[in-house]
Every structure is written in structure tokens, then in C-alpha cells.
A and B are shown apart, each in its own frame.
Chain A
Amino acid sequence: MRAFRPTVDTKFHIDFSWWEKRNKDIRIFMRDLLCPECREAVGTLSDVKMVDTIDPETAEVTRIDAIWESIRACCSLKPGYLTSDTPLLDSIFRTFLANRNEPLSVLELYERLDKRPPETLLRMLTKGRTYLGIKPA
């Protein structure tokens, strides 16, 4: 049996089970990404509720955490969310949060972020430890 070897076309996403297995609360990370207005609106972590979100193409409704929904619908659209100073792996994490965690290949990430060559991105995502739960989908 051959080992699975990701390529620049392999799709990645945030694997939430990775967070659960490590008993880490992704919402703590997500909360740090909220803009000041959303941070105030969301309140403390214990106040956070699930909300309905509507797919812009199909109108399908899914229920997601209010913090994530705020990031997707508001904070990720603001200029400071992704900047040239944002570290590369953080940028990838933020990209997935903003796009509903739709899986993206390294090439697609490269096209969106335009920071480092696809091969470098692939190396960073596959060599060494998993960062922020970003794994092949």
C-alpha cells in the first residue's frame, strides 16, 4: 500500500476533529479575529449562540457558531483581516474561516494569497506538525 502523498492539487480544510481531539476550543482562536464591533456584539464565549447562515447561491440554511458567522459575514470583509504582514499559515486559517471552510487546493490558496510559491505552501502544510487543524480534506 502506498502512502498518501498530497500534491498542489490536494484540497485542504480545517479539520474540526483535530481541535476536539486536542481538547482545544477553536472559538478562542476565532474570537481573536473579530472586529471591535462584532466582539462587542458577540459578548463572552459563554454567551455565544448558534445562528442560521444562508448560502449565497443555493439559499440552503446551515447553523453555525455566531463567532464564525461574524467572521465570515463581517470581519473577514474588513481590510485588516488579511494583510501582507499576516503570517502565511494564519492567512490560510483565516481564508478557510472566511469561505465556510470550503476545501481549497494549494494552488487555489496560492491564487488567493499570492504570498509564497505553491510548492513552498505545500511543504509548510505537509511537513512537520499540523498547524491549526489544517489538513487534507
Chain B
Amino acid sequence: MKKFLRLLLICSSGLLFIVSCSPVPTKEYSKQTKKDRQFTPVFNDTFQKALYEVEISYGSKNISGVAIIKKMEENQTFRTVFMSETGLKYFDFEYFQNDSMVVHYMMDAMNRKKIIRALTTDLGLILKRNPDQKLLTYFLSENPSDGLMIKEKQKGRNYFFSEDHGNQPSKICHRASFSPSTNIEINYNPERIPSKIVFMHGIIIFKMELKLITE
């Protein structure tokens, strides 16, 4: 029995590792020099604040609510609060320009390491503004319509896909060992504010969707 359990553990760990390392389609991209290249954030310099409808699904369960994302003028940070429709706050995070962040509040029922790590990583990817250039590698697609890919080596690997240089990313992938992969798809409105953001997690049936309500 113990052997079986050990085998099961090894197999499931192996499966998780394989899935977490599921490939990001990078073969068709060729490496570019960093000269004249720069990272374009999801929320650009003109962004001030936005209110989103939120739906988080896990298996057959789902939680809905609203989220506010606001650029704070004082520290040039991003503050984001998720809450239920009735106003009950789920969590409150603040992201700094140097990629660090602070958890101001996490609802007691959600105050678990795995949940905090998943949420802070997901939101950190869309709120990233000034990544360390030393950690970035730029790639240009051989197919012009596929645009630019930026690879960042930090806490695993992050891939930011843009249709063109200078455009905000339309897709972000996160890969790290022994951690479920994350894929994020982003649509923008004509003012280049993200109008729909969908987070999907590897083998875990966990999906988070943000839809723009007002700016």
C-alpha cells in the first residue's frame, strides 16, 4: 500500500511538473537585441482607475463580485480590491513599481498561502510596470502578424505576447516548476483600457474573469 501511495505521489508530482512546464509556443520567434525595445505594461501611463465585474470559478462552484484597480498618485503604485456585489471585501493588494507588493487585507476564509500566492502572482502579471531589464529577453515572430514576445525570468518564466512593439500584451503565460501554469488573455477597449481579462490555471479547474464596468 505504501509503495502504491509513493508511486501515486511520484506520478502526480511528475504530472504536475509536466503540466507546469507545458510549452509556450516560442519556436517561431527569433531573439532580438534589447536596443530600442521596451516593456509595455497592461495598464498604460494614462490609466487612472477602473471597475470590473469579477467571476471566479473552481470546479462547479463560483464566486462573483466586483474589483477596483486604481493607480495611486502618491507612490505610483497599483491598488486593487476585490469584493462581493454587496460590498464584502475579499482582498486588498498594492503593487509597487519594483515588482514588490503588500497584502493590505485578505479575508480570513481566503487567508491561505496557496490562495495568496495564486492571486498575487496572477494580478502581479497584469500590474507589472517596470520589470528589471536584465531579466528580459525580446523575441520577434517570424510571422509578422504574431508580433512580439518578451520573456522574463523571475520566479519561473513569464511570457508577454504583443501584436506589435509598443502594444500592450494580449496574452501572458506564467510557467514555474511544481506550480500550475497560468495563461492570461486580455482584450482592450478603444481607449486601450483592458476590457476583459481571463486567467486560466493549468490542471486545476480554476478560472478568473474580469469584465470592465466603468473607467
Mutual binders A and B: no
Which A residues fall within an 8 A CB radius of B? none
